[in-house]
Structure 1
Amino acid sequence: MGGGEYSISSATFPTYFLKHLDDAEQIRLQARLDSVLFSDLFGRELGLSRRFVGTEPLCPVTALYNEALLEILPPRGIEVTVIPRKTDSGGAISASSVRRSWVAEDWEALRRLVPPSTERFLRDQESRPIWERLRRSSGRH
């Protein structure tokens, strides 16, 4: 099931989308709020029993979010499974590095970062509106 517009909401977790972050307590509070809303609104309604997250060696905000999920969800009956992040010779692969390579149309770099099916989609005209939006974006995510 896809997360759609909810995955992480700028309404409940605005600091996730800011480039410069210096208030760890604010981030922690918003991460906890988003985790509680996920559990109480989606977990209960959809009967979810597990949420998957990747390890986060690169982004301190996402790492705090993962910590909040690990704290909030299990007592509410949702197991959190942490999956090791995929790496390449340059270290951990991040969505940010994929977006940067894609916007720059660096197909060689993308080939090292994503599976062939994703590369095909990113090269396809169907993905062009997303590419255009990313080129205009100044946010972190």
Structure 2
Amino acid sequence: MSGAQLLILVVATALASSLLTLLLGGLLLRHWLLPRLEAMSMALEARVKAGADAAAVEMLPQVRAELVAGFREAAIESLPAFREEVRKGFIEALTVTNAAELLDRTARKVVRTGSSLVESGLNLLRPARPDGTDAPVHGDDLRRP
């Protein structure tokens, strides 16, 4: 065998060996290592979730108490300012709108509504004319022949 043929044989053997190693490594990874890693990760995930749930159940009353205390503190601090703002708003609303004008408009609406109701009631009591018109009846129209 010549030197070139020997070199080609060595390179071909190295390539075949590398490809075979890669193929066996891929098969080993896919069929043996990945399922084991997945099972381990699922078990770890279940343990972490169980631990987190247990920690959450333990810490929930403490967190609730701290939140309630914080909200109460904030409410106590902001309540006087809130009351003052509401008071100022009501005073401003009463001074901006003229109370007498508001009462006058309300009284006019009440009178208008009341007179309309009385008129409707009287129209129901008044007899209708035989010709179907609703004109007022005068004494001259009732002359006897």
TM-score past 0.5 threshold: no
Larger helix share, 1 or 2: 2
Larger strand share, 1 or 2: 1
Bigger radius of gyration, 1 or 2? 2
TM-score, structure 1 length as denominator? 0.17
TM-score, structure 2 length as denominator? 0.17
